[in-house]
Structure formats: C-alpha cells, structure tokens
C-alpha cells in the first residue's frame, strides 16, 4: 500500500528472503573473499583476503595478543575457507581464540556447527548459533521446499539441476521441483552460479551441515544415495568425449565443479558392492584424473576394488590393474609388478577393448623405457603395437600421446633429433585438433629434445606452463619449472636455476608424482652445477625456491616469456 501511495519511493531493505514485490531489485550479498589454497601462499597474500581480515579483527577483539603470523596464517586461511567466507560463521569462530589455537580450531571444523555459537545476550536467540539461524530459515519454508532441502542433504558439493532432479525422482513434490529450488534460492539457503552456461547450486558449509543432518533421518536414504551415485556414473558417460579436443577445458571445469559429489557417489557404490560401475566411470574420465592431479585417489579406489576379492568382469579387472600400475609408475618409490600390467593387456584383448589394450601396452612400454637397464627395443615394439590399435582417426588425442612416447624412447636412445621431430609432429597435430593437454605435453618434449641438442629454449617451457596453468595440470607445472631450471643452468644463471628447481621440487611434493625422465633431462645439468664452484650458491637458491610461494615461483618462471 505504501508503494502504491508513493510510487517514486525507494526503500532499502535487508532481508533473509526476497520480498517478491513488483519493481524489486535484488542485490545478493556474497560471502567474503577467502584466500587461495594456503599451501605455498605468502603471508601478505593470505592477509589480503577480506575473510582473513575479519577473522583477525574479531579475534583481536576477543584476545588483544592475537596476530596472524607466518606460524598460524595457513590455519587461519583454512578456517576461512572451511567456513566459505560467511561473516557470521567467521566471527563466531574467531572469538574461540580465547580457548583454541587456529590449528586446534581447524581440526574441529570437520563438524562446524557445534563450534559456532555465542553466549552474547544482545542478539536474538535464533542468531546465537549458526545452527539456530539456519533451522529458523528452513522452518519458514513451504512443505515442498522443506522436503527438497532435506533431500539435497545427500550432496557434498555443488550440484546441477539435473542432479537435483535425479535425487528427487519419485517424490510426490518432484513435479514442482523448480519452484522449490527457487524458494530455497530466495531464502538464501541455496546459491546459484553458472559454469559454461550450466546452472549449479551450492550451500554454504553451515547450511549443508543442517541439510545433511536432516537427510540422515530420511526414510528412503539408501535409495536416494543410490540415485545420487548413479547420476554421477551417467555424467562420466556423457562427458567422456568432451574431455578431448577443443571442449577439454570446459569439460574439466564441469567435472571439477562436481568433484565432491563424484567422490562421495563413487565411494558409496564401492561400499555397497557396485564397483563395476565406478571402475568404468573412472576409466571414461581418465583424462580428468590425470590432468587435475587426482590419479593417486583413482589408484586407491582401484586397489580397494581389487582387494575386495569380489568377482569382476575381465574388463573391470583390466582397468583396475592398468590404472593402479600406471600411477605406481609415476609415484617415486612405488613398486610395480610387470606381470599385473601384462595381465591387464591380455584381459583387455580378451574383452575386445582395443583402447584399453593400447593403454596397458603403453604402460608396459614406459616400464621398459625407464627400466634399469632399459629395454628400448621391446619398449618401441610395445608402443608401436599400441599406436596400431588406436589410429588417429579413431582417437586423435591418445594416438598423439602414444606417438609422443615413441619420441621419448628416441631420447633414451640418444637420438635427440628424432625425438624432436616426433615431438614437433605431435605439437602440430595438437593444434589441429585443438587439444591443449596434448600440446602442453608435446611442447615439454620439444624443450627437452632441444636441451639434449645443446639448445636452451625457455619459450617452449613457458608456453607449456601457460597451457598447464590453463588446464590446472600441476604435474605439468613441475615439468616446466624443471625445464626452465635446466635452461637457466645452461645459460649460467645459477641463482635462477636453483630457485626454479627448488620450486619444481615443491610442486612435486604437492602432487606426490614424478617422472623418471628427470634422470635424462634436468639431472645432468644439476650434476654439472654441483660439480662446479657455484655449487653452494646453487643449493642456497634451491632451498629458497622450495620455500617460495607458488605464485612467486610462477612469476619467476614467466620472466622467460619471449615478450617479457
């Protein structure tokens, strides 16, 4: 009535929900910005995040002696990340510094809500704990929205509308799902954000904990968990072809957005004895696990499946053996049994899976290449068989990888010209098919071949680094830092070389992965420097590089950019 009487009036309103009035313009107040992954991040970068500054200010109000220092900054950053930057949650956590160190607080945030309460008497009862605030908001919802809120407690991270439809299937309110979703969004219990045109919904940590607790009391909890897991198996089937070529980055980002739900769904299937579906799904999106540095987790699942002793189809067992063996090959110190990979190749062959057989043969070829002593003739024979099984017209991405492996064998033979020719051919093919991952790997091989020819080409490693960063390929970052360190050593810049090599070693520590080509690539340059008068200087720079924040290491690496 007031707005009808005063049509020119403007009213500023803060509210838990939208008012749903004509001409209403809504401005959603987002959570505070949180730091990037705190590992390897400098103190000043952590302190620049608004969420950290709020924590610091509220903690100092509770304990004037409190400061964010090098000793506790990563824990404070972890607290702010765990609480999604929610101001009220951060304030309630910060006052706990009177009783807990940031490290102890972070340990207890596995279950956030019991920690987040206040005894203050000058706030409404519903705001004295985060739980009370969320529960109050949920109780104000309509019946359908409340039922949906409980059902989406099955999700452990962001989810799409398709995923919500999958877990709501069969519920009497499912036909009105979209209206219920909108009510949750309007009530600030769901947040919407888009990825490549696909709407996703997420809950802040305190809200998700309430939804999870309510879901545990659902009468059909097991059926919903299975529907949730089955949805993410189907997602792997749908997205598999988009992980190759020009659609690669968008597909990687899509899977990354749904990673938490993929994990929880697949773990559930393994727990209830439905591992066949998980193994197939992991295999279909193998490029995701590889590029986004999740291979150790995929390996752990495969080992759980193999250790369970359940009867598996030949193809399922072949996949589990291939993934487990391949990842072990990339993990320093991990043992690998050639017989297991040979069995994998035989099982793939028996199942008529040419792609799987080619992958297993490539793992065997790599084992023979990296062996001590290497058997390069056998490695080449195995790799050529793999290429014949997966021609370029069938799968240009993996055919390119298999041909790149032939180039590595040539490098081991001491034929850098042949290795360079193979790598440059793959780079050209990568550009033609628009596959950034293939291009990054092949550019790295070009850089190593040039070094073997006595020519430092930092521009090749910088371009590969740019692609690795675009893809989120942390292992690639390690390769490129190693290559740039070798280029710097070749040019006599020991400080730069040591810093970059130390940063590469820190990257390897983060991923737990390595590559035995290092014995052929940067290791000779390192040995040469360590045998020189500059050894102490080099080692000091190397130590500094290991401690260098990741952002600073990348900035140092990019100084080799041709235009810079």
Predicted local confidence at residue 46, as pLDDT: 87
Q: What is the chain's mean pLDDT, rounded?
A: 88
Residue 89 near residue 112 (C-beta atoms within 8 A): yes
Predicted local confidence at residue 6, as pLDDT: 61
Beta bridge partners of 511: none
pLDDT surpassing 70 at residue 118: no
pLDDT tens-digit series, residues 249-276? 999 999 999 999 999 999 999 999 999 9
pLDDT tens-digit series, residues 318-376? 999 999 999 999 887 767 788 999 999 999 999 999 999 999 999 999 999 988 889 99
pLDDT surpassing 50 at residue 119: no
In three-state form (DSSP H/G/I as H, E/B as E, the rest C), the secondary structure along 433-458 is HCCHHHHHHHHHHHHHHHHHCCCCCH
Predicted local confidence at residue 105, as pLDDT: 81
pLDDT tens-digit series, residues 43-101? 888 888 999 999 999 898 888 999 999 888 888 998 888 877 878 778 877 877 877 88
**155 vs 49, 79, 210, 215, 258, CA distance in Å?**
28, 21, 12, 10, 10
Averaged pLDDT, 466-484: 95
The model's confidence at residue 5, banded by pLDDT at 50, 70 and 90, is: low
Averaged pLDDT, 18-31: 59
Averaged pLDDT, 529-536: 91
pLDDT tens-digit series, residues 166-178? 999 999 999 989 9
> Rounded distance, CA 361 to CA 363, Å?
5
pLDDT surpassing 80 at residue 38: no
- Judged on CB neighbours under 10 Å (0-12, 13-18, 19+), 69 is exposed
Whether the model clears a pTM of 0.75, i.e. scores above it, the answer is yes
The more confidently predicted of residues 394 and 520 is 394
The model's confidence at residue 378, banded by pLDDT at 50, 70 and 90, is: very high
| Other residues' Cβ atoms within 10 Å of the Cβ of residue 25 | 5
């Amino acid at each position: 009535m007031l707005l009808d009487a005063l049509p020119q009036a403007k009213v500023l309103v803060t509210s838990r929900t939208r008012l749903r009035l004509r001409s209403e313009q809504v401005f959603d107040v987002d959570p505070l910005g949180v730091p990037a992954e705190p590992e390897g991040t400098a103190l000043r970068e952590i302190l620049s995040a608004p969420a950290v500054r709020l924590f610091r200010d509220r903690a100092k109000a509770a304990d004037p002696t409190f400061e964010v220092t090098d000793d506790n900054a990563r824990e404070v950053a972890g607290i702010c990340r765990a609480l999604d930057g929610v101001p009220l949650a951060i304030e309630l956590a910060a006052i706990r510094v009177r009783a807990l160190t940031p490290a102890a607080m972070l340990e207890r945030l596995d279950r956030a809500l019991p920690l987040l309460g206040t005894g203050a008497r000058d706030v409404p009862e519903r705001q004295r704990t985060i739980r009370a605030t969320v529960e109050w908001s949920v109780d104000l919802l309509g019946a359908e929205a409340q039922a949906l809120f409980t059902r989406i407690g099955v999700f452990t991270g962001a989810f799409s509308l398709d995923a919500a439809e999958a877990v709501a299937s069969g519920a009497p309110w499912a036909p009105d799902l979209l209206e219920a979703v909108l009510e949750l969004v309007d009530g600030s219990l769901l947040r919407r954000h888009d990825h490549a045109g696909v709407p996703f919904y997420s809950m802040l940590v305190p809200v998700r904990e309430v939804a999870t607790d309510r879901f545990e009391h659902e009468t059909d909890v097991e059926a919903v968990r299975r529907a949730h897991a089955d949805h993410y198996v189907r997602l792997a089937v749908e997205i598999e072809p988009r992980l190759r070529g020009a659609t690669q980055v968008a597909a990687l980002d899509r899977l990354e957005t749904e990673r938490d739900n993929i994990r929880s769904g697949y773990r559930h299937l393994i727990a209830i004895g439905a591992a066949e579906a998980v193994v197939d799904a992991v295999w279909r999106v193998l490029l995701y696990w590889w590029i986004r540095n999740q291979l150790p987790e995929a390996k752990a699942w495969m080992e759980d499946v193999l250790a369970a002793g359940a009867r598996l189809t030949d193809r399922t067992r072949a996949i589990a053996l291939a993934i487990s063996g391949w990842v072990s090959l990339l993990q320093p110190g991990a043992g690998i049994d050639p017989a297991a990979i040979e069995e994998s190749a035989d099982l793939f062959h028996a199942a008529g899976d040419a792609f799987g057989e080619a992958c297993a043969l490539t793992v065997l070829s790599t084992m023979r290449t990296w062996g001590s002593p290497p058997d390069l003739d056998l490695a080449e024979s195995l790799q050529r068989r793999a290429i014949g099984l997966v021609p370029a017209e069938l799968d240009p991405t993996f055919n390119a990888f298999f041909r790149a492996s032939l180039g590595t064998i040539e490098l081991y033979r001491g034929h850098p010209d042949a290795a360079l020719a193979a790598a440059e051919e793959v780079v050209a093919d990568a550009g033609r098919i628009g596959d950034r991952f293939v291009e990054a790997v092949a550019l790295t091989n070009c850089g190593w071949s040039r070094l073997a020819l006595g020519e430092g080409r930092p521009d090749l490693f910088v371009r590969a680094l740019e692609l690795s960063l675009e893809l989120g390929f942390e292992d690639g970052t390690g390769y490129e830092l190693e290559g740039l360190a070798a280029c710097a050593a070749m040019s006599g810049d020991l400080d730069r070389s040591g810093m970059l090599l130390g940063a590469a070693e820190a990257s390897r520590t983060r991923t737990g992965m390595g590559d035995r080509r290092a014995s052929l690539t940067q290791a000779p340059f390192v040995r040469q420097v360590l045998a020189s008068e500059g050894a102490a200087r080099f080692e000091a720079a190397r130590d500094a590089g290991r401690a260098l924040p990741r952002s600073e290491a990348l900035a140092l690496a990019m100084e080799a950019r041709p235009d810079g």
